[in-house]
Structure 1
Amino acid sequence: MAKTALTRMEPAPPERLSDVVGEVTALAPERVIVDPSLVEAAARAWSPNTIRAFLSDIRLWDSWCRLSRVTAGEATAQTVAGYVRALSGQDHDSAAARATETRAAATIARYLVSIGWAYRMAGRDDPTAAPLVRLELKAARKVLGTRQRQARAIRFKGEGSDLDAPASGVSLGVLLKATRRDLLGLRDRALLLTAYDTACRCSELAGLQITDIDGPDTDGAGVVEIRRSKTDQDGQGTQAYLSPVTMRAIAEWRSKAAITRGPLFRRVETWFDGSIRSVGEGPLHPGSITLIYKRLIRQAFDKRMLGDISETEVVRWIKAVSSHSIRVGVAQDNFAAGESLPAIMQAYRWRDPKTVLRYGAKLAAKSGASARMAARFHDK
């Protein structure tokens, strides 16, 4: 698997492009693509993450066809409909269905998009466009539900409603205190603070370059240029605020790690005894950022910094944390502070208000009318 795209969304490496061409060619009649330029243009237009998902989806589809004893290039709407039923857990009769893991409704829909693209680019009729498949997808959504599981939020001071209270539980404030007092800890602190200030996605954080940071100004604050992101594939770019505390953490990390140019966040390698071995030259892998969050939660627990929390609960926490956990926490903290929806969307580059409102739904439930009424009577 390729390493991943940086925030600058560099073109996918040639081997990725050839992989796309290869998968589509396998579906084409006589294994000859009618319009190769269409496939190559699509591969160049897609982000590396999209290419990676496309290749994964098509390979899973190919496996389904093999297990179903169907030639992938000649699959019909009935073949796709069977795949949807298996993916949604509605069919366990065939060997292919029993070997298929149940997926979320959104994942199934993505698979169909990838399959449809592949067949159209191969010059074949799109079997996913048939009414039968559309109806099976609708049935799958009824069975599975369409609400996506939300990452557990990492808020600055924890899950409490009092923003002036000390940080407690699994919170950014506690994780910052749990970091090590060496190069690894300096990197982790700079990363956590930047993630919170900017609400950047992991690919955006990993792609930050030294030249993207402007400041500090007279107040010690700075600005970071986010040149390209998931919602900005054309690279128009946007800016995000960095607090004086974050700017100091970045400066200390850069100074101790002797970073003068190139990627801001990098891998810190350690020896078997945990001591620092070296700092990498290349960017931190986006996929490792979630692992850093999980490691810091475990670190805080082992240092007895999470309060009255059991081993079982910390395991649940670690399982529920994802690359979006700080991003969700930022949204909830802003709602708790009384910031408006448009202000939150503008500051943190959200385009869909439904996403932001979904992030704030749990917080709203805890602080809404029903919660206030319950507290009024139970406190008596």
Structure 2
Amino acid sequence: MADYPVSPVRYGSSASLDAIVGEVTALAPQRRLLDPQVVAAASRAWSANTVRAFLSDLRLWDLWCRRSHVQTGAATAQTVAAYVRALSGQDVSTEAARATEARSAATISRYLVHIGWAYRMAGREDPTAAPLVRLELKAARKAVGTRQAQARAIRFKGDVTDLDGPAAGVSLTALIKACRKDMLGARDEALLRVAYDTGCRRSELVAINVMHIDGPDGEGAGTLLIPKSKTDREGQGAHAYLSPATMRAIDRWRDKGGIDKGPLFRRVETYFDGTVRSVGPGALHPGTIGIIYKRLVRQAFAKKLLGAMGESELERWIAAVSSHSIRVGVAQDNFAAGEALPAIMQAYRWRDPNTVMRYGAKLAAKSGASARLAKRFAVD
């Protein structure tokens, strides 16, 4: 199988409600919900990713309580504080703490948010709201740091300062050249080009329907309607530009895959010898996007398209590439091209300027005042 697909887990409204009700009811006094409407509203208001994270985080919390010999419904601020210390690696004095894997500050904060929601929905006092827990969270942030790991950027021409110069290293250009010449390669090229033009998140990419694409216009360009995204829960929608090259890649993929309606990006099944067997009827699973990017980096390396990169550097690249890598690369290329922050945020549907600035921080270090001065006076 070329894409190593993950079996999809669907969270429809009724499935979300049943799952959340089960977890919250287990916390409620006498296992009875005081206000079932709150849980029902949460199942409708939360995204599928939030529901998955909520359920996963609660199960980890329940495991901590059982290891600590505490009834989950009777957990106190002290129980939560001990959990935070274990998650941040500050305490390994107990069996429960030693069995708990360390997490980032952002993940610990998310755990506390979901635990707090669960207790409040269950009609119990929220143990995460206590001053002790707030202080332990602050101490955890100091202990593990708050800088989040960032996906390695896949820029159009790689990690270069001259956008008009040749591509170097891992780049969108190299990955496109590495695509096969068959149906699978046509799908991969269309995916890469759409991801770069639009800056779509993985959930947005797999949700693209043929009917969402408009064009080509007189110059060969098109537009993509993005009906709903992570930052657009109300479904107001947004439009993104598709270049003539991208429109041509989409047409090639649709022609080879026989796709005239429905999901644009689909699973391509292959035989053991690598030849294409068939195209699936449904959309790709979001989890396959990063896997496809990693596979294409390996293909580019095998075709000697990545310059003098060695095996060890390749493995570091593979480990750092994620489904977000092209989106990060798009942000960096826009900064390198001199685009203003508001324009970048508007074009690629970002709400938090800090996120965009974090993506551009490494690039800024290479092109800022200190870098210019160092280059000016550099000597061998």
TM-score, length-scaled by structure 2:
0.97
Cα deviation, 1:257-297, whole Å, max 9, x if unaligned, reads 01011101000011111010110111001110000000000
Question: Residue 4 of structure 1 contacts residue 286 of structure 1 at CA under 8 Å; is this kept in 2?
Answer: no
Match of 1:242 in 2: 242
Match of 1:123 in 2: 123
The one-letter code of the counterpart of 1:354 is N
Match of 2:196 in 1: 196
Match of 2:75 in 1: 75
Distance 1:68 1:146 in 2: 27
Cα deviation, 1:68-108, whole Å, max 9, x if unaligned, reads 01010110010000000000000001110000000000000
1:1-380 map, 5 Å: 3=8, 12-379=12-379
In the superposition, relative to structure 1, how do residues 181 and 2 fare at CA in structure 2: closer, same or farther (>3 Å)?
closer
Question: Residue 16 of structure 2 contacts residue 51 of structure 2 at CA under 8 Å; is this kept in 1?
Answer: yes
Question: Residue 4 of structure 1 contacts residue 49 of structure 1 at CA under 8 Å; is this kept in 2?
Answer: no
Q: Specify the SS of the correspondent of 2:278.
A: strand
More displaced 10-residue stretch of structure 1: 143-152 or 11-20: 11-20
Cα deviation, 1:137-193, whole Å, max 9, x if unaligned, reads 010011111111111110000101111112221000000000111111000000000
How far 1:345 moved relative to its partner?
1.1
Q: Specify the SS of the correspondent of 2:377.
A: helix
Gaps of 5+ in 2: 1-5
Q: Specify the SS of the correspondent of 2:218.
A: coil
How far 1:16 moved relative to its partner?
3.1
The one-letter code of the counterpart of 2:66 is R
Distance 1:202 1:116 in 2: 29
Distance 1:74 1:33 in 2: 16
How far 1:45 moved relative to its partner?
1.1
Question: Residue 4 of structure 1 contacts residue 285 of structure 1 at CA under 8 Å; is this kept in 2?
Answer: no
Q: Specify the SS of the correspondent of 1:279.
A: strand
TM-score, length-scaled by structure 1:
0.97
Distance 1:220 1:311 in 2: 40
How far 1:303 moved relative to its partner?
1.2
Cα RMSD between the aligned structures? 1.2
The one-letter code of the counterpart of 1:3 is P
Question: Residue 223 of structure 2 contacts residue 241 of structure 2 at CA under 8 Å; is this kept in 1?
Answer: yes
How far 1:378 moved relative to its partner?
2.0
Question: Residue 223 of structure 2 contacts residue 239 of structure 2 at CA under 8 Å; is this kept in 1?
Answer: yes
Q: Specify the SS of the correspondent of 1:193.
A: helix
How many aligned residue pairs are there? 375
Distance 1:13 1:303 in 2: 46
Distance 1:209 1:244 in 2: 19
How far 1:377 moved relative to its partner?
2.1
Q: Specify the SS of the correspondent of 1:356.
A: helix
How far 1:4 moved relative to its partner?
5.5
How far 1:13 moved relative to its partner?
5.0
Distance 2:26 2:183 in 1: 49
Match of 1:8 in 2: none
The one-letter code of the counterpart of 1:189 is E
Distance 1:199 1:19 in 2: 32
How far 1:346 moved relative to its partner?
1.2
Distance 2:341 2:91 in 1: 43
Cα deviation, 1:97-122, whole Å, max 9, x if unaligned, reads 00000000000000001000101111
The one-letter code of the counterpart of 2:285 is H
Q: Specify the SS of the correspondent of 2:70.
A: coil
Question: Residue 228 of structure 1 contacts residue 236 of structure 1 at CA under 8 Å; is this kept in 2?
Answer: yes
Cα deviation, 1:321-342, whole Å, max 9, x if unaligned, reads 1111111110111111111111
